[in-house]
A and B are shown apart, each in its own frame.
Chain A
């Protein structure tokens, strides 16, 4: 059982990494056309793990994803690394919390996750660069709804197949 779980976790982590690199090749949603806007496909995997296993496993997958993607693309401990680190930690913690409250479905949890990911990045922008990007907050809230619904819907489909 332990080995089985270990291999599953490794598979999910690599899936999250691949999806996160893959999504930067999608035109328009690559994070540069609209600065910071991404689909957040890796969130599908994290949500799936959160629902099939528990918060602890999802947190580990999210951290692993941040470290490996940073190694592949920008380098460890660069500015962008801290941005995605705090974004992911915020997002996965909020999703775990909201799931525990148990009033939202997976779609709501996903929207909250995608919004708090932006929120974490605004926080790190404030602490590292001392810039106030609060004016972007409503804009991010607006964008996080469709992307959150998309990833939430995909994880829901996955969970239903697995059942």
Chain B
């Protein structure tokens, strides 16, 4: 059998640096978690393969939009300040299981379809669909 080196064996038990690392990362994680932005988004950008194909205004009545992804069409429902994916073709359905998303900076990622929906507070005057 292969042998353990002496130095590895000294460091097999928890060291001081370990404890510092654990406490440090927990602190950072919790701080950011508490400071997470809670402002509502007003626009959602839909990207297909890095290209913005649609910008949806969220402050309207509920409407459905259809986007063509890599594997098939994706049905998005948006309105009243929130957005979700209703229907899509993929093996795990992660993005439709995610449900409603409404906070600024959140995103829905559908990797198999190469479609990303990102929520933002402001709009970019380019391709607005009302």
A interface residues, Cβ below 8 angstroms from B: 32, 35, 51-53, 79-80, 83, 99, 102-108, 111-112, 115, 125, 129-131, 133, 135, 137-139, 141-142, 144-145, 149, 156, 159-160, 162-163
Q: Please judge, given known A-B contacts A35-B94, A131-B116, A141-B28, whether A159 and B11 are in contact too, CB under 8 Å.
A: no
B residues within 8 A CB of A107?
14, 18, 22
Q: What distance in Å separates the Cβ of B50 from its nearest Cβ neighbour in chain A?
A: 4
Contact in complex: A105, B2 (CB < 8 Å): no
Contact partner of B2 (CB less than 8 A), chosen from A53, A103, A138, A144, is: A53
Count, chain B residues at interface, CB 8 A: 41
Contact in complex: B116, A108 (CB < 8 Å): no
How many pairs, one residue from A and one from B, have CB atoms within 8 Å of each other in the complex? 99
Complex: chain B residue closest to A78, CB-CB: B112
A68 CA to B106 CA in the complex, in Å? 33
Q: What distance in Å separates the Cβ of A102 from its nearest Cβ neighbour in chain B?
A: 6
A residues within 8 A CB of B31?
138
Contact in complex: A105, B14 (CB < 8 Å): yes
Q: What distance in Å separates the Cβ of A119 from its nearest Cβ neighbour in chain B?
A: 12
> Can you list 6 A-B pairs, Cβ within 8 angstroms, ordered by A?
A104-B15, A106-B11, A111-B25, A129-B109, A141-B29, A142-B30
